[in-house]
Amino acid sequence: MAQQDITKHRYTNGKPNLRRFHQARWDEPIIFELSCEGQRGILVPEVEVGIRDEIGDVLATLPENMRRKQLPKLPELSQPQVLRHYVRLSQENLGADLNVEIGQGTCTMKYSPKINDQLASHPKLAELHPLQDEETVQGILEIMYRFEQMLKEISGMDRFSLQPAAGSAAIYANVSIIRAYHESRGEAGQRDEFITTIFSHPSNAACAQTAGFKVITLYPDEDGYPDLDALKAAVSERTAGLLITNPEDTGIFNPRIEEFVRVVHDAGGLCVYDQANANGILGITRAREAGFDLCHFNLHKTFSSPHGCGGPGAGASGVTEELARFLPVPLVEFGGERYYLDYDRPDSVGKLRPFYGYVPVVLRAYAWVMSLGAEGLREVAEIAVLNNNYLLNKMLEIPGVSAPYAKGKRRIEQVRYSWEELAQETGVHSEELGIRAADFGIHYWTSHHPFVVPEPCTLEPTESFSKDDLDEYVAIMEHVANEARTNPELVKTAPHNSTIHTIDHSPLDDPSQWAMTWRAYRRKVGREKGWHSRGKIAPQRTSYCVKR
């Protein structure tokens, strides 16, 4: 008797059946509403009489101006209540550990091995104090030192700082280093322009502007490649540098990258390679070979550290020997016998983060590289590119979707797709398709600015997802696109199986409603309206706790 295929029910005509997903809905209040006076997770025992007599009132040793006038307004809950609360919230979610997370293109949502989290939370690291004597932290200094050697090998650069806390912080550091370089040559005031391309990650333009530079953005040429003639028209004696992502956010590799670097060098500028996402080129190309002077990696993208919902991450900033003296302090050095932090660097652009930077993130990335080795890193890139081009081919079989620019060419690690044709035909827009997909347990977000590609979505499958995962993803996309034709209202009113409905994005589009700082909030919302002002707590909330 032939063996029964136990997976048979999951397929129809060779295609995966769609998952009948429904998100958990707990109607869970916010934690402050759950608070009930007197409830505790842990009851800390009173100090024994003998000790109290010896020590006296510990709080009295604190300076008067450091003591709180009022107790902090913390919620009061028991341990199981706290556990239930957060597990419930985690279920009302479609996070990286739940779905085929390839819809967050440019974010490189690869799998973050759990063992690396265990290493990072091991007491040997977790209980270190940043003010400990160097002699007692030789282990972690060694890991930081060795990880820098690995990044040097991967990029071809000569020195790295592990201080920046994110990709944008690393770009800001690199921009600061370039300013210091031009200052050292007496050209600081003159060189006040940075050049970038419109499909470079927008953090590049933002960081240069934040640092006080003017930003010149190049539009692509007719074929969608970065426009060399536009670059030639943009460079001058005012050029401080070039900030460029490659492959760009469209997944297109710049075939003239060396010429770009040469044109900027000829004008006296320096070149920075944004390698936040280097997933498609690990072990294949290096920033240095293309002539770049600086680069940066996001350890929470390419090197698998978790994104952690916006942090902490780490952006490693790498430079040539000539620029090493400007790197942020401290650098980790090895004196032959012991490792130490070098703060004595007079030309440094200064300090970016307190102490060492984000050490647990570095440890996770180090563990990830050690588990793969050099050949493994190259294999990561190869599989990521293979996955992406497989997905590209399958996606383009769906009527109504296209991959604008560089027609007929393969892409590196991601693709910015356009649903324009489908939207024209059905009136259903990309964002609505992405939200409807959530009813089947996956999702995508459209794309970040600039809003050049109409009806976009950017998919980046990385190396972590199997052919089955990709097939399931495409099957859902195909189904949703088909629904847009047959039942557009169903798609437009999605999600139907999720915890919450759609949210209003419009305030994000209105700078008058933004408050990036506390001072801005006070200015815009007003002193009296701000509930934090004068130590007042939020307006009266409904309490879920029955008063006894």
Partner 1 sequence: MRMVEKRLGLIVNPVAGIGGRVGLKGSDGAEIQKRALELGAVPQSLNRAIQALERIEAVDGLEVITYPGEMGEDAARPCGFQPTVIGSIKPGETTPEDTMNAAREMRRLNVKLLLFAGGDGTARDIYSAVGEGLPVLGIPAGVKIHSAVFGTNPLNAGDLAALYLQGKASSLREAEVMDIDEEAFRQGIVSAKLYGYLKVPFQRRLLQGLKTPSSPREQAAMAAIAADVVSKMEDGWLYIIGPGTTTRAITSRLGLDKTLIGVDVVAEGKLITADVTESQLLRLLEGRKAKIVVTPIGGQGCIFGRGNQQISPKVIREVGRDNIIVVSTTGKIHSLRGQPLWVDTGDREVDEMLSGHVRVVTGYNEQIVYRVSW
Q: Name the residues that contact partner 1, by CB under 8 A.
A: 104, 107, 198, 202, 205, 209, 213-220, 222, 227, 229-231, 233-234, 424, 427, 429-432, 434, 445-452, 454-456, 489, 505-506, 508-512, 514
Query: What torsion, rounded to 10 degrees, do the Cα atoms 395, 396, 398, 403 define?
Result: 90
Our CB check for partner 1 shows the closer of 123 and 408 to be 408
Contacts of 290 (CB under 8 A, 6+ apart): 246, 257, 258, 261, 273
**Min dist. Cβ of residue 283 to partner 1 (A):** 29
**Min dist. Cβ of residue 43 to partner 1 (A):** 43
Our CB check for partner 1 shows the closer of 371 and 424 to be 424
314 and 162 in contact (C-beta within 8 Å)?
yes
Distance CA 138, CA 541 (A): 50
Number of alpha carbons in the 13 Å side-chain half-sphere of residue 411? 30
Our CB check for partner 1 shows the closer of 136 and 424 to be 424
**Min dist. Cβ of residue 497 to partner 1 (A):** 19
**Min dist. Cβ of residue 423 to partner 1 (A):** 8
**Min dist. Cβ of residue 484 to partner 1 (A):** 13
Output the six-digit token pair for 135.
């002699």
Secondary structure (3-state) at 332: strand
> What does each C-alpha distance from 184 to 187, 310, 425 come to in angstroms?
8, 35, 58
Our CB check for partner 1 shows the closer of 347 and 421 to be 421
Our CB check for partner 1 shows the closer of 2 and 508 to be 508
> What does each C-alpha distance from 270 to 196, 235, 248, 264 come to in angstroms?
12, 11, 19, 7
Q: How many CB atoms lie within 10 A of CB 390?
A: 15
Our CB check for partner 1 shows the closer of 140 and 205 to be 205
Q: How many CB atoms lie within 10 A of CB 384?
A: 27
**Min dist. Cβ of residue 490 to partner 1 (A):** 13
**Min dist. Cβ of residue 520 to partner 1 (A):** 14
134 and 140 in contact (C-beta within 8 Å)?
no
Backbone angles phi, psi at 414, to 5 degrees: -155, 170
Our CB check for partner 1 shows the closer of 267 and 381 to be 267
> What does each C-alpha distance from 37 to 162, 208, 458, 531, 535 come to in angstroms?
44, 49, 48, 21, 20
**Min dist. Cβ of residue 140 to partner 1 (A):** 33
Our CB check for partner 1 shows the closer of 212 and 539 to be 212
